[in-house]
Each structure stands twice: as C-alpha cells, then as structure tokens.
C-alpha cells in the first residue's frame, strides 16, 4: 500500500481468484467494555496474533486497538478468515490468564461471565484500491472519532506509525483531528 500507487507498492492490492483477499475486520469486547485498557490484555492479543500468523499466515495492512474494539485490515491467500479470528480470540483469552471481573457483568440478565469478546466479528471484503484507502483512513481516524485522542498521530496502539515509517501513508495524516477529518481527500496522500 506504499502511498497506494501501482508499481511502487510492496503490499500492492490484488484480488485473489480462489479464496482469500483483503478484509476489514471489527472485533468488539464483550458488552463493549474497555477491557483493552489493561496492558496485559493488549500483550495477550499481540501474542495471539503472532501465534496465529505462524500457523495461518496473514498480512496486516492497518490495525488500531481501542479500549473496547479493534479495527483491522488484513489479507490472506485462502478462505480461512473465520478460523484465524476464532483462534486469535481463543488464544487472547488463554494467554491473558485471568478473567475479567464478575462485577463488570453483574446485573445483566443472561450475562456471559468472564467474557472478553463478543461472540461474532464484522467483516467487509475490500474490492478496490479506493476502498482500501478509505478503510485505512477510517481505521486510523477512529480513535479521534471516539474522542480517545486529539490527532491521529497521538494514538499509540495502531499500525499508523509503522506505516508512516514505511511510506505507506503520508505523515500529514498524523495531524488529522476531528475538525480536519472530513476535509482529507485522496489527493492528500
């Protein structure tokens, strides 16, 4: 996605003919609780993603971790997306080694005690360079949108800083704030 220009891009967009492709994923914590404020849980997620990547390879194109959900663009070359997500969720829970507090689910009828994740995930197939660009911009501006930081470059838990270093996204995105978010155009890349 090196500034998303053809031929200069080591992660150049392509649609796979048989299985696989590019996907934009959203995974939520149980009841959208801010569980990822816990550094141990963030580390458990990183370890789970590394482990699954060794078993079932994928490439991360954009990623942001918020207190209560994750946005992630990945590409795979097979049709095992659900298996990867299921393993990441299961291993995150296993590696975390402790359960979220019962107090967090107290008072909810039929609450799933000790849950970290909502049972499903949301997936969008990405079919064009424009959609990849738009989803990437959405992911990196999401912490700003939710009020967790003032500018995109202020949020530490995303692949944004890696992508700036690699020249994948422009450094100017670091300064996107809520009042500027709607004025970013494709030409700004």
- In the predicted model, is pLDDT for residue 157 greater than 70? yes
Q: What's the average model confidence in pLDDT over 81-107?
A: 79
Q: What pLDDT is recorded for position 146? A: 96
pLDDT in tens, 159-181: 999 999 999 999 999 999 977 55
Does the predicted TM-score (pTM) go above 0.85?
A: no
Task: Using CA atoms of 181, 185, 21, 119 in order, give the dihedral in degrees to the nearest 10.
Answer: 10
- Cα–Cα distance measured from residue 79 to residue 171, given in angstroms and rounded to the nearest whole number: 34
User: What does the chain come to in residues?
Assistant: 189
Average pLDDT over residues 143-171: 97
Q: What is the pLDDT of residue 5?
A: 38
Residues in contact with 70: Cβ distance below 8 Å, sequence separation at least 6, in sequence order:
25, 26, 27, 28, 36, 45, 63, 64
Look up the domain containing 91 and give its range: 2-188
What percentage of the chain reaches a pLDDT higher than 70? 76
Q: What is the CATH number of the domain that holds 9?
A: 3.30.70.1290
> Per the structure, how many domains does the chain have?
1
Q: Are 51 and 130 in contact (CB under 8 A)?
A: no
Q: Are strands 59-65 and 21-28 parallel, antiparallel or unpaired?
A: unpaired
* CA angle, 152 then 156 then 158, to 5°: 75
DSSP 75: E
The answer to whether 7 touches 51, Cβ cutoff 8 Å, is: no
């Amino acid at each position: 996605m090196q500034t998303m220009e053809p031929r200069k891009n080591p992660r150049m967009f392509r649609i796979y003919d048989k299985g696989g492709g590019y996907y934009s994923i959203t995974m939520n914590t149980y009841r959208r609780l801010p569980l990822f404020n816990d550094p141990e849980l963030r580390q458990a997620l990183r370890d789970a993603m590394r482990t699954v990547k060794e078993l079932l390879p994928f490439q991360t194109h954009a990623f942001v971790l918020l207190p209560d959900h994750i946005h992630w663009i990945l590409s795979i070359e097979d049709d095992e997306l659900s298996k990867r997500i299921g393993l990441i969720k299961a291993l995150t829970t296993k590696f975390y080694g402790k359960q979220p507090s019962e107090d967090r689910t107290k008072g909810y009828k039929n609450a799933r005690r000790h849950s970290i994740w909502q049972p499903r995930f949301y997936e969008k197939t990405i079919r064009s360079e424009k959609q990849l660009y738009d989803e990437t911009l959405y992911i990196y501006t999401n912490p700003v949108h939710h009020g967790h930081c003032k500018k995109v470059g202020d949020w530490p838990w995303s692949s944004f800083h890696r992508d700036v270093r690699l020249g994948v996204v422009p450094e100017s995105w670091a300064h996107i704030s809520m009042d500027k978010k709607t004025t970013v155009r494709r030409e700004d890349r």
